[in-house]
Structure 1
Amino acid sequence: MKNKQDDRRDNVDKIQYNINKTIQNCELAEEMIRKTDDEKMKKTLTEKNERREEALNSMKREIEDEARDKKNGYK
C-alpha cells in the first residue's frame, strides 16, 4: 500500500475559508444576542463567540506559519 503524499499547498486557502466562516458565525451570533430577550441564549451565544475568538487566534497563527513555510509550495 502506497502512502498518500502530504500536499499542503492549499492549507492557507482552507484556513482562510475557516476564518471567514468563523467570523461570519460570530457576526450572526452577535445579531441574535442583540435581538433576543432570552438570557440563557445570550449567555450560550456569548460563550460560543468567546470560543470562536480563541479559535480565530489559533487559525491566524496557523495561517502565518503555513504561509511562511515555503516548502508547502504556497505562493
Structure 2
Amino acid sequence: MITPGEFLRFTLDPLRLAILGRASEGMVDVDAVSEALEVDRRKVLGEVGKLRSAGLLDDQDRLDRDALRRLAGS
C-alpha cells in the first residue's frame, strides 16, 4: 500500500490524475484516454501500469475504492 505522500505525488501528475478520474467512472479505456488527451498510447499504458502497481487500480483498471479507504484511514 502506498503512503499518503506517495498518493499525493501520484496525483500531482496530470496524466495519472486524469486516468484516476476516468477510473472513478469505470474501467479505464487506454485508447479513449490517449485520444482525448492527445497522449501516446504507450505513455498511457505505462501510467496505468504504475497506478496498478501502486494498488490504486484493480486488475480490470478500475479505481480500487478499498485502497483509497485504507489510505484515508492511515
Q: TM-score range by the shorter chain?
A: 0.3 to 0.5
Larger radius of gyration: 1
TM superposition score normalised by structure 1: 0.39
Which structure is higher in RCO with an 8 Å CA cutoff and minimum separation 6? 1
| Higher share in helix | 1
